[in-house]
Structure 1
Amino acid sequence: MIHDLITGLINKGLTLELIEDTDVKYVKNKVIALLGIESVEYPTTVINDSIPSILSEIVNYAVDNQIIDNNLDDKEILSANIMDCFIPRPSVVNDKFYQKYEKSPESATNYFYQLSKHSNYIQTERIKKNISFKADSTYGELEITINLSKPEKDPEQIKKERLIKKDAPSYPKCLLCKENEGYLGRTGYPARANHRLIRIDMLGEQWNLQYSPYVYYNEHCILLSDKHRPMKINSDVFRRILTFTEKFPHYFMGSNADLPIVGGSILSHDHYQGGNYEFPMMIAEELFTFQLNNFPNVKASVLNWPASVIRLQGENIEGLVEAADLILTKWRNYSDETANIISHSGEEVHNTITPIARNKGNIFELDLVLRNNRTTDAYPSGIFHPHQDVHHIKKENIGLIEVMGLAVLPPRLVEELDSVKKYILGQTSAVKEEHRQWATILKSKYGHLTDETEMETMIEQELGDKFARILEDIGVFKNQDAFLTFINELNMNK
């Protein structure tokens, strides 16, 4: 059976143009060496399945025959090493990428995206497990994803990680470092043998393009610095992300904020996220426009969006960068106690920005989401963070993706929401305490429903309402007058 599986994987590699006919014997020898197979048999059964499915069967064979231990990390390492046999070295991938770039940027990214999927670096089968839907709101349609793609660790895996945690190697320094390209992996650290990076010159600095292994949207990519240095929002960030959209006009590019609570999960490595996708915030209507006195060629507006967003539009990148830098400089030091905004606590900075850039033909567009990470006794998680009453749905940081209108909710909700539905339908009284108040309100509101499909639709809409509330919580300006006070500050010469 193992020879049938190996042949099936090779045939799939040929079909997807990962390899050519002249590569077959080489790849086969590499794979059987990884599996410790000494004798070679001819296949007896034609296997025509997806690469992830065939890989899974090969990994099961390795576990059953005690080639590897039955734990997540060993399985991931073997799987990545097998697929590494099918894909070229980084220099070849980069050469082909830039050959295709000469034709069009879309052709280049499409090649790299397909390679990342077919090589099983992008976990396409696991991503299918995610639950995704849309929900209406007063701000337009919002998107919700319950993230089920990342595999759960079993107790033995967790135990093994704890044993080595104190003496864990420091190479690579983090999950985003360029040293991850081709890295074998280890206990508690993901396998990256089938990982490739595209080298991109960004204004004289070396940066690298990759795709997220667990993409949340179409062509979800990461642009990361060659250097392991902390994230810092400044004019260089605005210039880089706008320049990237000039190089790849079909992609947006944005950065998480650079402070805890309002930032992303990895603040230790300078990086951005982008892709070929239109988020709800990107099509949000203008609430009002305003003039930046020193930048007559830049159109400025405030969006009708629950987070506090200034949109800048113009034909010239440098003009947008200078306007954005003015806004950042003013915002870093802006306080308005009537709006609960205080810029500093001693030396600690609270104000920052989440920027997102796009190229819309002859016009560049830069969205600046104003953020503040201050905490108080009343709001220990953050004044402009999801408040306590929505923590039963989401209490993690609200980063770049969610700011733009795509909620990434925790996997615990699948089971918990099922109990809420049953509670409303009168099928159970067992609902987690943190959901009880919400479930009681929903039962009063929807207790007449008996159809489970209607109940599912209702829950999805209620989750959308919760997400809109979460985005309202992170908005620093709760009304137009407060926003206008800050805008007036932008036009004061001081």
Structure 2
Amino acid sequence: MQTDLDQATSQLVSDFVSWGVKLTAFDGLEIPYRENLVLHHLGVEKFISGLHGTPNQAISELADQLQKLGASNQRFDTNASWSSAAWRAALLDIITPSPTTLNSNFKRDYKVSAKQATDRFYELSRQIENVKVQAIAHNIAYTVNTNFGDIEITINLSKPEKTTAEIEAAGRAKKIAYPPTVLDQYNEGFYGRLGAAARSTHRFIYEEIGGQTWGWHYSPYAYYSEHAIFVEMERQPMHITKQTFTNLLAWVDRYPHYFIGSNADLPIVGGSILSQEHFQGGRHTFAMMKAPVRQKIDLPQFESVSAGVLHWPMSVIKLSSHYQAELIDAAELVRQTWQGYSDPDLMINAYSNENEQQHTVTPIAWQEGGKYQLALVLRDNGRSTDFPDGIFHPHQAVQHIKQENIGLIEVMGLAILPGRLKNELADVADVLLGRRELRQIATKHQPWVKSLMTVGGCTPENVENRIQEAIGQVFIQVLSDAGVYKNTDQGREGFDRFIAQLH
């Protein structure tokens, strides 16, 4: 006997499956097949066939309703966030294009334009929750005007926090070496488990770059528009070479509306994953990319290349040319010269006491004004007794705000700050407004807050802006700490000595 509940559930399933047709994952011939997959996933046996599904309601809203039904049927552990996330991703996978279909659709769109291809792939990634739109919305993001342009600040609240029970369970769980890495293609379609993210809907666009197979996708927890990750599939460790510059420019040739950059390949100054070659890119213009040239550099051996030092807290040489080959050669000259260069008076040493390489670059490529642009940020991985975390790493005085590595995104002027700051900065506001005493907040913040108190003039209406502006200035100091040559007379003289070596 048909009931209203059966009718509502059947219509919900049909509406959800209709999205697969709209997303070009499959055609109408597959609708009954996909509906049966959803029914099995839900643990539902009663279904009214032949209903007309419409993709009028948002996928996320339909998935929410279906997830409630799955929970009531005990299809996943509602007390374990990983189980809930894995179940939901597998549900969305039913209406997601397969890797083959997706790549075929992308190539068809790319024949029209690179922008059409990325626009449609990005929208798909948002719809199927590969880009966690709802989670990203929890981030606190703003800009602060500084002497170096508009610096971007993000307090990262998007990644779900694990409960104590889940953390303890992960510690007890048997270690499984699959997928081999968190980056490669074996994550496509992976259901997930405790300690390993659900990737049922995860998809790559596959391309050949530099004679190697690469795949790219949009970051789940994006920090800027169309935040993309480009992964080399042979699982080679991160290593900055001349080929790196060649590959970066090949990518911006294919996607001229994107910047593409690489983290440095050393642990203190590099990114969080150095075990597999990968780049990051996207449709965003960072403050560093808009920074003016402070000082021109003469490179007579490269007639088509213009070069200069950027007005930026870190030490950046920007190269520009219409011609890739000469631009790559110029970049390699800078890299090789820097790799072997030392200036002990400024604590700059190419090699450690153990003869380990300490110099590398963070390279970023983009197109502007009809030319290829290649920025090389000089990095030094050295440590000392005074700076055990890294000589050119955020120093102790700013670690109450930012103590993590300064990677590619921060280098360009976007601070990614830890979620702990949300509550900690609320306490700071209370002190500035006289609602609590200085000694009642975290000790690590007290010297900074004491300096803010001397300025005075905080009101409930302006205290948030005051704190945001102060955070922006701290981040400028963070970048300055990570900069090899400081914006001082001594630092500029040291930079000049290095530039002289390029001749």
TM-score when normalising by structure 2: 0.93
Match of 1:156 in 2: 165
The correspondence for 2:37, drawn from 30, 42, 49, is: 30
Structure 1 CA distance, aligned partners of 2:19 and 2:185?
Answer: 29
Answering whether residue 297 of structure 2 is matched by residue 290 of structure 1, we say yes
Structure 1 CA distance, aligned partners of 2:236 and 2:96?
Answer: 30
SS in structure 2 opposite 1:253? Answer: strand
Structure 1 CA distance, aligned partners of 2:424 and 2:344?
Answer: 39
Match of 2:223 in 1: 216
SS in structure 2 opposite 1:461? Answer: helix
SS in structure 1 opposite 2:461? Answer: helix
Structure 1 CA distance, aligned partners of 2:482 and 2:162?
Answer: 32
Match of 2:481 in 1: 473
Match of 2:71 in 1: 63
Match of 1:461 in 2: 469
Which digits, 9 at most, give the CA deviation of each residue in 1:368-424, with x for residues without a partner?
A: 000011111111111100010111101001100010000010000000000000111
Structure 1 CA distance, aligned partners of 2:311 and 2:406?
Answer: 19
Structure 2 CA distance, aligned partners of 1:22 and 1:455?
Answer: 59
Structure 1 CA distance, aligned partners of 2:318 and 2:261?
Answer: 13
Answering whether residue 103 of structure 2 is matched by residue 94 of structure 1, we say yes
Instruction: Give the CA deviation at 1:205.
Output: 1.4
Structure 2 CA distance, aligned partners of 1:469 and 1:50?
Answer: 43
Would you say the 8 A contact 1:18–1:118 is kept in 2?
no
SS in structure 2 opposite 1:453? Answer: coil
Structure 2 CA distance, aligned partners of 1:453 and 1:31?
Answer: 51
Q: How does 1:89-128 map to 2 (within 5 A)?
A: 89-128=98-137
Q: Which runs of 5+ in 2 are unaligned?
A: none
SS in structure 2 opposite 1:313? Answer: strand
**Distance of aligned partners of 1:132 and 1:52 in 2 relative to their CA distance in 1, 3 Å threshold:** same
The correspondence for 1:330, drawn from 324, 337, 341, is: 337
Give the partner amino acid of 1:206. Answer: T
Structure 2 CA distance, aligned partners of 1:41 and 1:96?
Answer: 32
Match of 1:432 in 2: 442
Instruction: Give the CA deviation at 1:470.
Output: 0.5
SS in structure 2 opposite 1:267? Answer: coil
Would you say the 8 A contact 2:82–2:193 is kept in 1?
yes
Structure 2 CA distance, aligned partners of 1:160 and 1:439?
Answer: 39
Instruction: Give the CA deviation at 1:8.
Output: 4.9
Q: Which moved more, 1:337-346 or 1:32-41?
A: 32-41
Would you say the 8 A contact 2:23–2:97 is kept in 1?
no
Instruction: Give the CA deviation at 1:40.
Output: 2.0
Structure 1 CA distance, aligned partners of 2:324 and 2:495?
Answer: 25
Answering whether residue 375 of structure 2 is matched by residue 355 of structure 1, we say no
Would you say the 8 A contact 1:243–1:317 is kept in 2?
no
Match of 1:413 in 2: 421
SS in structure 2 opposite 1:264? Answer: coil
TM-score when normalising by structure 1: 0.94
Structure 1 CA distance, aligned partners of 2:19 and 2:402?
Answer: 40
Give the partner amino acid of 2:316. Answer: V
Match of 1:142 in 2: 151
Which digits, 9 at most, give the CA deviation of each residue in 1:435-489, with x for residues without a partner?
A: 111122212212x322x23111111111100111111111101122111100001
Q: How many pairs were matched up?
A: 486
Which digits, 9 at most, give the CA deviation of each residue in 1:23-63, with x for residues without a partner?
A: 433322111111221222589xx996533343234334333
Would you say the 8 A contact 1:18–1:115 is kept in 2?
no
Structure 2 CA distance, aligned partners of 1:57 and 1:127?
Answer: 21
Structure 2 CA distance, aligned partners of 1:134 and 1:117?
Answer: 24
Instruction: Give the CA deviation at 1:11.
Output: 5.2
Q: Which moved more, 1:253-262 or 1:23-32?
A: 23-32
Structure 2 CA distance, aligned partners of 1:422 and 1:205?
Answer: 55
Match of 2:235 in 1: 228
Would you say the 8 A contact 2:237–2:276 is kept in 1?
yes
SS in structure 2 opposite 1:445? Answer: coil
Match of 2:258 in 1: 251
SS in structure 2 opposite 1:282? Answer: helix
Structure 1 CA distance, aligned partners of 2:211 and 2:21?
Answer: 38
SS in structure 2 opposite 1:416? Answer: helix
Would you say the 8 A contact 1:356–1:367 is kept in 2?
yes
Q: Which runs of 5+ in 1 are unaligned?
A: none
Would you say the 8 A contact 2:184–2:233 is kept in 1?
yes
Give the partner amino acid of 1:96. Answer: N
Match of 2:308 in 1: 301
The correspondence for 2:494, drawn from 482, 485, 491, is: 482
Would you say the 8 A contact 1:258–1:352 is kept in 2?
yes
Match of 2:46 in 1: 39
Structure 1 CA distance, aligned partners of 2:23 and 2:455?
Answer: 51
Which digits, 9 at most, give the CA deviation of each residue in 1:249-279, with x for residues without a partner?
A: 1111100000001100110010000011101
The correspondence for 1:375, drawn from 383, 387, 392, is: 383
Match of 2:349 in 1: 342
Would you say the 8 A contact 2:25–2:98 is kept in 1?
no
Which digits, 9 at most, give the CA deviation of each residue in 1:152-180, with x for residues without a partner?
A: 0112221221111xx31111111101111
Match of 1:389 in 2: 397
**Distance of aligned partners of 1:454 and 1:18 in 2 relative to their CA distance in 1, 3 Å threshold:** farther
